[in-house]
Amino acid sequence: MKPSLKRGFERLIGAGLKTLVVISVFLVPVGFVQSGSGLTRVLDSVLRLRVDPRFSGGTELRRFYDPEGDDSGAGSLVRPKGEFYSGVGALDLLKYVVYEPELDAAWSSPRQFWQLAVTLSSFADAGKAPLGFSAASIRIYVSTGGPGSTETAVPRAELVGFDPAWPWDVMVEIDGWHETALLRTADGRLSRRIPLISVPERKTVYVRLPLDIPETKRILDGRATRHYVIVCGYDPLASGLVLPVKEEASSSAGGGASSSLTPRVWDVLAPSAVEQARQLSSFDEAGFRYAVLEPVVAERGNPGIDLAALGEKARVEGVSDEAARRSEALKKASDLDPIVSGTALFVLGEYGRAGERFAEVLAREAGNPVALAYSGSILAMKGGKASSPLDAVRFVNEGFALLDRAVAAAKTDFEVETARMNRASVGAAVPEAVFGKSAAAGVDFRDAAAIAETRGDGRAAGDRLVASGEAFERAGNEGEAESSFLGAAALGDLSAAARLALASRGYPLAAGR
Amino acid sequence: MTKTEKKRGFSVPTVTVLGVLMAACAYFFIVQIAQDSLRPAAWIVAGYFLALFILLEATGNIALYRRIFFVSCALLFFPSFMAGLVEARGSISLDAREVFLNRTPFCHIVIPLSIVPYLLKGVLVFPARLSNHYASAYSMIAIWLFATLTIGRGWCSWACFYGGWDDGMSRFSGKARLEVRDPEKRLRHFGFAVLAFSVLAGVATMTSVYCAWLCPFKTVTEFGSVTGPSSYLAFIIFILLFFSLAIVLPALTKKRVQCMSFCPFGAFQSVAGKVSPYRVGIDPETCVRCGLCARACPTMSIDEAALAAGKPAVLSTCTRCGECVTVCPKRAARYFFVWKKGCGQDGGRMAGLRERLGQGGRAGRFIAALLLAAEELLSPRALLTTTGFTIGMIVAGSFATGTVARIMHLLATGSFLLGGAP
């Protein structure tokens, strides 16, 4: 290369680099502030950072859900008179989480413990307790498989007994008035305070059992443990600090007790309210035997569910459903109504022809929400096939503009459902790092599920709630994801794919589904 | 202001353009993001920073005005940071609940210590918020990435909210009471040893050992609650390290002892910052080997022996602070772009043309002034100082606003806390 040409080339590169530097000096910081959340999304999609769970008590082993609103014992208990116990949900157990034993906790003392977490429906705190919940006294009785007891730690406190097959050997008492929990062993040799973390914003209290006693050391071999989780009313003056229940409610006792043996328990961890009522009504007045509680089992996986078989079932069901959809669409593809034929062609994957049908509709009626919704989806899909990333982003954004118009214009249930499902599907399909639409998709799927449920189509509702949960998960919003998954799990009829999605995440699937 | 300094300043059009751009940045990064109630304080801070920037560019005295800016950032950072913690959680100490909830503020020093554990386990070994917070991991990583790609190790002299402590103390007295001589200059390598130790210890324990035990700046941010012998020991270590490395030794040696020899992030940035387009160099043709630059360098990054031998070299530990650039009587020390061979004279290519134009009429002089402004605006000095200043404002702006607002609140109400402790 001639020296003069080389010099010119070097100057050109130098000028280009300088220009880049100048642009970065002024535009990048402004862009940083203006699109801080966008940058975070991009970084998150690349790095997928998660804080080491050793800082938060370890990884979850099993999570159990208890129905909301079942805080009346066997169904008859009435809150005491006065404000202290009146908070809605203050005695309502919602979730219980068992963690893997943590042997090397970071920045924590002690470094070895076993964490358990209890979530209430509400941290209503009429008594202004230091830990943010004043009315509840939570008791966790655990059977780790050793010799234990079938009676409560404090005799005649909760008025319940425990499954003789699984006697408890270690238990914890938690209330909002002590900044530590009380650990007891069934043999009575140990009674000591242990660390407790209350997080009112999560309505959850976390307790850390030491791993230096024989009862908890047993769990280190990975064996299953059984747990009885009980919510009583907190009464500092009563036996075992448990609020008594009597026939009539007073300021110092709950009401609705049918017998002197009625358990002083407002909620117990059980898969359903019916099951809870059965356990809490099992006392025998004639034989003077307390109601017997049954434990939940904490072990790895989702007991009783064969995920492989469920996966195969979901695959077969998916193929069959798709075939049925295509067959139905084929019948309608040449329908005279362009909305019907356009939708059918869309299902058949003939997006070009479908787009033409919807364009016909929009030429006649520019604000037709169904045509707008499908046109938006088609435009966004075009983005997926664009050769240039800039074109791809432009197509998707233009598609979203149409989808937003469709949602705004939709009035009937059919229109709302179509518009939201289209927008949700596109929102869930496009890269979260670029468009950040997953959370909005979660909301859309949830709204579409509500419409399907109103129509009585529980199966579609379940699928949409699962899709909503998955979209929220992608957006990093675990609370909303959990809420959608729980909504799906509560439905009576679910597709195999929805059941698989729920079971693989550890959500309870009611028997018979 | 000496005549030399005046000559080093940019022309009025250049300073005007840079000033307008910096005013926009100050508005974006300080005023616009401030809550309504903090706006008056934000305007004061933005005005103060803008004035410093204009003085820096107009006089060319980078050493003085950068240092005032940098020290101001450090001093305005910690009261706001600590008061913010008291307002949010009732204490500056980090308790088990904050660790459990992953709410520990994330700082840039954690970045190099987290890389290997992240690559091994895919997790962040620090209990920080990940996003949606000024002190979250992603925010800090984004700022660090931008800073590394632009100013490289210049972070340590323009943006680090800790560095202002030892930078300020290193210029506290006029004369070094403790002369650091050549063999001790290997102290600058000690930072790499601290980095290596911190990384290895972090990998061994899968936690950030430096943060838990060795960070001097815990003293002016937060540290674990003193609950037992080990946390008490850590507390003592933090205080001893802070006063020795960030206060006493810098004041005695006139060197930035902490940044040079004990900060793992600084050592890391010496390597990572090689991607930056800016360097500081000394032109051997112009250099008269007076040694002023080497003596002025607060991180001992100029090799005196090489300088004396007529082969001046600026090491990768250089923090682009501009001390040597300012102090050099012959303007031999200067910023340059990495793609230029050597560090020859900035611009100047069109000096002849400008001179000819300047001898013409008014239009000629106008065009000459425009050409000069364009050359100055695209010079590495203008770009580096503007970028460094901007990043410093991004990092410290909201904290500085918080401190000024709290001072105003203190004067008005007698309480430094905005809204009181929880």
Contacts A13 to B, Cβ<8 Å: 339
**Mean pLDDT in residue range B219-237:** 86
* A352/chain B closest Cα distance in angstroms: 41
Q: Looking at the structure, do residues B148 and B269 belong to the same domain, yes or no? A: yes
Domain A307-504 has CATH 1.25.40.10: yes
Among residues B244, B276, B308, which one ends one of the domains?
A: B276
Contacts B21 to A, Cβ<8 Å: 26
Residue in A32, A39, A107 closest to B127 by CB: A107
A35, pLDDT greater than 60:
no
Under DSSP, is residue A168 helix (H, G, I), strand (E, B) or coil? strand
Segment among A307-311, A448-452, B108-112 with least mean pLDDT: A307-311
Structure tokens at B408: 């105003």
Question: A16 CB near a chain B CB, below 8 Å?
Answer: no
Residue in A14, A30, A107 closest to B207 by CB: A107
What pLDDT is recorded for position B1?
42
The DSSP secondary-structure symbol of A156 reads T
**Stretch 294-323 of chain B: residues touching chain A, C-beta under 8 Å:** none
CATH 1.25.40.10 in chain A, residues? Answer: 307-504
Total tally of structural domains belonging to chain B = 2
Residue in A32, A51, A56 closest to B142 by CB: A32
**Mean pLDDT in residue range B49-77:** 96
Q: What angle do CA A184, A186, A189 make, to 5 degrees?
A: 65
Contacts A36 to B, Cβ<8 Å: 139, 142
pLDDT in tens, A9-27: 776 776 676 666 666 665 5
Question: A122 CB near a chain B CB, below 8 Å?
Answer: no
What pLDDT is recorded for position B128?
93
Q: Do B123 and A107 touch (CB under 8 A)?
A: no
Q: Looking at the structure, do residues B133 and B66 belong to the same domain, yes or no? A: no
Contacts A32 to B, Cβ<8 Å: 142-143, 146, 394
Q: Looking at the structure, do residues B173 and B150 belong to the same domain, yes or no? A: yes
**Stretch 36-95 of chain B: residues touching chain A, C-beta under 8 Å:** none
Question: A128 CB near a chain B CB, below 8 Å?
Answer: no
Q: Do B228 and A49 touch (CB under 8 A)?
A: no
Q: Looking at the structure, do residues B101 and B202 belong to the same domain, yes or no? A: yes
Q: Looking at the structure, do residues B30 and B163 belong to the same domain, yes or no? A: no
Does residue B366 fall inside a structural domain?
A: no
Does residue B373 fall inside a structural domain?
A: no
Return phi, psi of residue A177, to 5°: -100, -15
* B167/chain A closest Cα distance in angstroms: 25
Q: Looking at the structure, do residues B165 and B179 belong to the same domain, yes or no? A: yes
Contacts B143 to A, Cβ<8 Å: 32
Q: Looking at the structure, do residues B126 and B161 belong to the same domain, yes or no? A: yes
Does residue B79 fall inside a structural domain?
A: yes
Q: Determine the Cα–Cα distance for residues A369 and A346; give it in Å rounded to an integer.
A: 16
What pLDDT is recorded for position B223?
80
Q: Looking at the structure, do residues B65 and B175 belong to the same domain, yes or no? A: no
Going by pLDDT thresholds of 50, 70 and 90, the confidence category of residue A29 is: low
- Burial class of residue A489, CB neighbours in 10 A (0-12, 13-18, 19+): buried
Q: Looking at the structure, do residues B84 and B112 belong to the same domain, yes or no? A: no
Report the residue of chain B nearest A27, measured CA to CA: B25
Strand partners, A137: A175, A232
Structure tokens at B182: 């050549």
Residue of higher predicted confidence among B337 and B341: B337
Q: Do A28 and B118 touch (CB under 8 A)?
A: no
> How crowded is the C-beta side of B271, counted as CA atoms within 13 Å?
10
Going by pLDDT thresholds of 50, 70 and 90, the confidence category of residue A513 is: very low
Q: Looking at the structure, do residues B98 and B67 belong to the same domain, yes or no? A: no
Does residue B406 fall inside a structural domain?
A: yes
CA dihedral for A64, A67, A70, A73, sign (positive or negative): negative
Best B98, B123, B144, B211 residue to mutate vs chain A (most A CBs within 10 Å)? B123
Q: What angle do CA B170, B172, B174 make, to 5 degrees?
A: 95
What pLDDT is recorded for position A9?
73
Under DSSP, is residue A316 helix (H, G, I), strand (E, B) or coil? helix
Does residue B23 fall inside a structural domain?
A: yes
Question: A18 CB near a chain B CB, below 8 Å?
Answer: yes
What pLDDT is recorded for position A21?
67
Q: Which ipTM score applies to this complex?
A: 0.87
Size of interface A-B (CB pairs under 8 A): 134
Question: B386 CB near a chain A CB, below 8 Å?
Answer: yes
Average pLDDT, chain B: 89
Q: Are A74 and A110 in contact (CB under 8 A)?
A: no
Among residues B252, B276, B300, which one ends one of the domains?
A: B276
* B227/chain A closest Cα distance in angstroms: 9
Q: Are B262 and B190 in contact (CB under 8 A)?
A: yes
CATH 2.60.40.1190 in chain A, residues? Answer: 58-298
Residue in A25, A30, A57 closest to B28 by CB: A30
Q: Do A106 and B33 touch (CB under 8 A)?
A: no
Element (H, E) at A395: helix A389-409
Best A11, A13, A17, A25 residue to mutate vs chain B (most B CBs within 10 Å)? A25
Question: A51 CB near a chain B CB, below 8 Å?
Answer: yes
Q: Determine the Cα–Cα distance for residues B58 and B6; give it in Å rounded to an integer.
A: 8
pLDDT in tens, A491-512: 878 899 999 998 888 787 754 4
pLDDT in tens, B7-61: 688 999 999 999 999 999 899 889 998 999 999 999 999 999 999 999 999 999 9
Does residue B398 fall inside a structural domain?
A: yes
Average pLDDT, chain A: 90
**Mean pLDDT in residue range B140-144:** 89
Going by pLDDT thresholds of 50, 70 and 90, the confidence category of residue B2 is: very low
Question: B33 CB near a chain A CB, below 8 Å?
Answer: yes
Going by pLDDT thresholds of 50, 70 and 90, the confidence category of residue A301 is: low
Q: Looking at the structure, do residues B115 and B36 belong to the same domain, yes or no? A: no
**Stretch 346-375 of chain B: residues touching chain A, C-beta under 8 Å:** none
Q: Do B127 and A197 touch (CB under 8 A)?
A: no
Q: Do B207 and A32 touch (CB under 8 A)?
A: no
Question: A220 CB near a chain B CB, below 8 Å?
Answer: no
Contacts B340 to A, Cβ<8 Å: 14
pLDDT in tens, B188-205: 789 999 999 999 999 999
Does residue B241 fall inside a structural domain?
A: yes
The length of chain A in residues reads: 513
Residue type for position B12: V
Contacts A195 to B, Cβ<8 Å: 96
Structural domain of B176: 93-276
Contacts B397 to A, Cβ<8 Å: none
Query: Rounded to the nearest 10 degrees, how much is the dihedral formed by the CA atoms of A423, A424, A427, A432?
Result: 160
Q: Looking at the structure, do residues B116 and B69 belong to the same domain, yes or no? A: no
- Burial class of residue A505, CB neighbours in 10 A (0-12, 13-18, 19+): middle
Does residue B317 fall inside a structural domain?
A: no
pLDDT in tens, A245-254: 999 999 999 9
Contacts B224 to A, Cβ<8 Å: 107
Q: Determine the Cα–Cα distance for residues A206 and A131; give it in Å rounded to an integer.
A: 11
- Alpha carbon distances (Å) from A226 to A167, A220, A248, B110: 9, 14, 34, 41
**Mean pLDDT in residue range A130-134:** 94
What pLDDT is recorded for position B343?
59
Q: Do B138 and A49 touch (CB under 8 A)?
A: yes
What pLDDT is recorded for position A511?
46
Q: Do B125 and A14 touch (CB under 8 A)?
A: no
Residue in A13, A14, A33 closest to B33 by CB: A33
Q: Which CATH class is domain A58-298?
A: mainly beta
Among residues B250, B276, B302, which one ends one of the domains?
A: B276
A1, pLDDT greater than 80:
no
The length of chain B in residues reads: 422
A287 contacts: CB under 8 Å, gap ≥ 6: none
